[in-house]
Structure 1
Amino acid sequence: MGERGMKLLGLVLLVLSSAGYGVVGLNIWPMPKSVNHGQQSLLLSKDFALDTEGSKYSDSSSILKDGFSRLLDLIQVSHNVDENSTYYDHSQLLKRLHVVIFSPDDKLQFGIDESYKLTVPSTGNPIYAHLEAHTVYGALHGLQTFSQLCNFNFTTRIIEVRQVPWIIIDQPRFQYRGLLIDTSRHYQPLPMIKNVIDAMTYTKLNVLHWHIVDSQSFPLEIPSYPKLWKGAYSSSERYTMADAAEVVDFARRRGIHVLAEIDVPGHAGSWGVGYPSLLPSPTCQQPLDVSNEFTFKVIDGILSDFSKVFNFRFVHLGGDEVDTTCWALVPHIREWLNKKGLNESEAYEYFVLRAQKIALSHGYEVINWEETFNHFGSKLNPSTVVHNWLEGNVAPRVVAAGLRCIVSNQDKWYLDHLDATWDQFYMNEPLANITNSKQQKLVIGGEVCLWGEHIDGSDIEQTIWPRAAAAAERMWTPFNNLAKDPRQVTGRLAHFRCLLNQRGVAAAPLAGLGRAVPVEPGSCYKQ
Structure 2
Amino acid sequence: MGLQLLRVWLLLFLFGLVAIVGGGGVNVGDFNIWPMPKSVTNGHRKLYMALDFQLITEGTNYSDASGILKEAFTTMVDVVQMDYALDANFSALHPSVVLKGLQVLISSPNDQLQYGIDESYKLLVPSPYKPDFAHLEAQTVYGALHGLQTFSQLCHFNSATSRIEVLMVPWTIIDQPRFSYRGLLIDTSRHYQPLPMIKKVIDSMVYAKLNVLHWHIVDTQSFPLEIPSYPKLWDGAYSFSERYTFAEAAEIVSYAQRRGINVLAEIDVPGHALSWGRGYPSLWPSKNCQQPLDVSSEFTFKVIDGILSDFSKIFKFKFVHLGGDEVDTSCWMSTPHIMNWLRKHGMNESEAYQYFVLRAQKIALSHGYEIVNWEETFNNFGSKLSRKTVVHNWLGGGVAEKVVAAGLRCIVSNQDKWYLDHLDTTWQQFYMNEPLTNITNTEQQKLVIGGEVCMWGETVDGSDIEQTIWPRAAAAAERLWTTYNKLARDPKQVTRRLAHFRCLLNQRGIAAAPLAGPGRGAPQEPGSCYSQ
Q: Normalising by structure 2, what TM-score? A: 0.93
8 Å contact 2:183–2:453 — kept in the other structure? yes
8 Å contact 1:260–1:310 — kept in the other structure? yes
Look up the match of 1:98.
103
C-alpha deviation, 1:126, in angstroms? 5.1
Separation in 2, partners of 1:144, 1:444: 23
Amino acid at match of 1:525: Y
8 Å contact 1:116–1:131 — kept in the other structure? yes
CA deviations 1:171-205 (Å, max 9, x no partner) are: 00000000000000000000000000000000000
Look up the match of 1:336.
341
8 Å contact 1:422–1:510 — kept in the other structure? yes
Rate the CA distance shift 1:394–1:78 in 2: closer, same or farther, 3 A.
farther
C-alpha deviation, 1:48, in angstroms? 1.3
C-alpha deviation, 1:104, in angstroms? 0.4
Separation in 2, partners of 1:184, 1:394: 27
Q: Which runs of 5+ in 2 are unaligned?
A: 1-27
Look up the match of 1:227.
232
1:310 aligns with 2:324: no
1:179 aligns with 2:184: yes
**Helix, strand or coil: the match of 2:218?**
coil
8 Å contact 2:125–2:134 — kept in the other structure? yes
Look up the match of 1:146.
151
8 Å contact 2:127–2:134 — kept in the other structure? no
8 Å contact 2:183–2:451 — kept in the other structure? yes
C-alpha deviation, 1:122, in angstroms? 8.0
1:443 aligns with 2:422: no
Look up the match of 1:386.
391
C-alpha deviation, 1:77, in angstroms? 1.6
Rate the CA distance shift 1:169–1:124 in 2: closer, same or farther, 3 A.
closer
1:375 pairs, out of 371, 374, 380, with 380
**Helix, strand or coil: the match of 1:489?**
helix
1:27 aligns with 2:32: yes
Rate the CA distance shift 1:285–1:160 in 2: closer, same or farther, 3 A.
same
Separation in 2, partners of 1:90, 1:252: 38
8 Å contact 2:99–2:126 — kept in the other structure? no
Look up the match of 2:18.
none
Look up the match of 1:66.
71
Q: Which runs of 5+ in 1 are unaligned?
A: 1-22
Separation in 2, partners of 1:500, 1:326: 47
Separation in 2, partners of 1:82, 1:271: 58
2:518 pairs, out of 495, 510, 513, with 513
Alignment of 1:369-448 (within 5 A): 369-448=374-453
Query: Size of the alignment, in residue pairs?
Result: 505
CA deviations 1:218-263 (Å, max 9, x no partner) are: 0000000000010000001000010000000000000000000000
C-alpha deviation, 1:79, in angstroms? 2.5
1:469 aligns with 2:474: yes
Alignment of 1:202-213 (within 5 A): 202-213=207-218
Rate the CA distance shift 1:122–1:397 in 2: closer, same or farther, 3 A.
closer
**Helix, strand or coil: the match of 1:416?**
coil
1:252 pairs, out of 254, 257, 275, with 257
C-alpha deviation, 1:156, in angstroms? 2.0
**Helix, strand or coil: the match of 2:152?**
helix
Look up the match of 2:86.
81
CA deviations 1:292-320 (Å, max 9, x no partner) are: 00000000000000000100000000000
8 Å contact 1:38–1:164 — kept in the other structure? yes
Deviating beyond 6 angstroms after TM superposition, the runs of 4 or more aligned structure 1 residues are 122-125
CA deviations 1:392-445 (Å, max 9, x no partner) are: 010000000000000000000000000000000000000001000000000000
Separation in 2, partners of 1:95, 1:248: 34
Question: Matched residues, percent identical?
Answer: 75
**Helix, strand or coil: the match of 1:209?**
strand
77-86 or 200-209, larger mean C-alpha shift? 77-86
Look up the match of 1:272.
277
C-alpha deviation, 1:85, in angstroms? 5.4
1:241 aligns with 2:246: yes
Amino acid at match of 1:376: F
Q: Normalising by structure 1, what TM-score? A: 0.94
CA deviations 1:15-55 (Å, max 9, x no partner) are: xxxxxxxx983100000000000010000112210000100
Rate the CA distance shift 1:147–1:344 in 2: closer, same or farther, 3 A.
same
C-alpha deviation, 1:78, in angstroms? 6.0
C-alpha deviation, 1:153, in angstroms? 1.7
Look up the match of 1:7.
none
**Helix, strand or coil: the match of 1:405?**
strand
